[in-house]
Chain A
Amino acid sequence: GENVEQHPSTLSVQEGDSAVIKCTYSDSASNYFPWYKQELGKRPQLIIDIRSNVGEKKDQRIAVTLNKTAKHFSLHITETQPEDSAVYFCAASIRGTGRRALTFGSGTRLQVQP
C-alpha cells in the first residue's frame, strides 16, 4: 500500500518568515495530494490540495508543489502568522478508483513565534 513520509516533525519559525514542509509518497498511482491543518483536539481541515496533472497551486499565502517523477510534494507558507501554528498533515490517495482513502504523513507541528 501507499506510504507517505513527512518532514520535519517539528518546525519553529519567526512571524513573517516562510515555512516549508516536505512529503514523499511511494505509490506512483497516487494522483491526489491534499494538505490538512489540525489544531489540538480538533478536526483536520483541508487547506489546499493538488492533483497529479498540476505542478503547482497557490492560494494566497499557501502554495503546494508536486514533482511526480521524484514522488515528492511540498507545502509552502509565506508571511507566517501566529494563527498558522498547528499540526500540518500531508496525504495521498488514488482518485478514480475504489481506493480513495487518504494515507497521511506523520504530521509537522508548526510553531510560529510572535
Chain B
Amino acid sequence: AAGVIQSPRHLIKEKRETATLKCYPIPRHDTVYWYQQGPGQDPQFLISFYEKMQSDKGSIPDRFSAQQFSDYHSELNMSSLELGDSALYFCASSIRDREAFFGQGTRLTVV
C-alpha cells in the first residue's frame, strides 16, 4: 500500500541557509500534518492543512512557513536556519478524523 513519502531523507545545511522539505500524502488523504522531533524528544506539532487550507497551527517558528498544493503535496520552508533546528521532521496524513500515518521523516542537520 502507498505510504506517506517525504523528501529528502537527509539534509545538511549551514546556519542562516534555507531548506525546503516535501511531503506526499497517502492518495485520497485530505489532511497533512508536520511535526518536529528533536533527539530524545516527542514529536512537536508544527502546522496542519485540510483540503489545501491551513487548519491548525502549533509551535511553528515565524522563520518557517508551509503550504499544501493542488495535488495535496505539502512543503515546509525553513529560513534563517539555526543549530537548534536540527531534528527529524515528520509529515503525517489522514482522512479527516481517521488515524494519521507518518512518513519516514527528513533528518535535517544544521552545521
The yes or no verdict on A and B being binding partners is yes
Q: Which residues of A contact B (CB under 8 A)?
A: 32, 34, 36, 41-46, 49, 89, 95-96, 98-107
A36 to chain B, nearest CB (A): 8
* Contact between B56 and A43, CB atoms less than 8 A apart: no
Q: List 6 A-B contacts (CB under 8 A).
A: A42-B105, A98-B55, A99-B56, A100-B55, A102-B100, A105-B42
B58 to chain A, nearest CB (A): 6
Q: A43-B105, A49-B99, A96-B97 are in contact. Are A104 and B48 (CB under 8 A)?
A: no
Tell me the dominant secondary structure on chain B's binding face: strand
B60 to chain A, nearest CB (A): 11
* Contact between B42 and A89, CB atoms less than 8 A apart: yes
In the assembled complex, which residues on chain B have CB atoms less than 8 Å from the CB atom of A103? 45
C-alpha gap A31/B33 in the complex (Å)? 18
In the assembled complex, which residues on chain A have CB atoms less than 8 Å from the CB atom of B101? 46
C-alpha gap A95/B56 in the complex (Å)? 13
Tell me the dominant secondary structure on chain A's binding face: loop
A93 to chain B, nearest CB (A): 9
C-alpha gap A25/B100 in the complex (Å)? 19
A108 to chain B, nearest CB (A): 10
| B25 contacts partner chain A, Cβ-Cβ < 8 Å | no
C-alpha gap A42/B102 in the complex (Å)? 10
- Give the number of chain B interface residues (Cβ < 8 Å): 26
* Contact between B42 and A95, CB atoms less than 8 A apart: no
Q: A42-B104, A43-B90, A49-B99 are in contact. Are A100 and B42 (CB under 8 A)?
A: no
For A44, give the chain B residue with the smallest CB separation: B102
For A103, give the chain B residue with the smallest CB separation: B45
In the assembled complex, which residues on chain B have CB atoms less than 8 Å from the CB atom of A96? 97
For B59, give the chain A residue with the smallest CB separation: A1
* Contact between B42 and A107, CB atoms less than 8 A apart: yes
* Contact between A98 and B56, CB atoms less than 8 A apart: yes
C-alpha gap A37/B44 in the complex (Å)? 16
Q: Which of B42, B99, B100 has the most A CB atoms < 10 Å from its CB?
A: B42
A91 to chain B, nearest CB (A): 9
In the assembled complex, which residues on chain A have CB atoms less than 8 Å from the CB atom of B35? 102
* Contact between B102 and A32, CB atoms less than 8 A apart: no
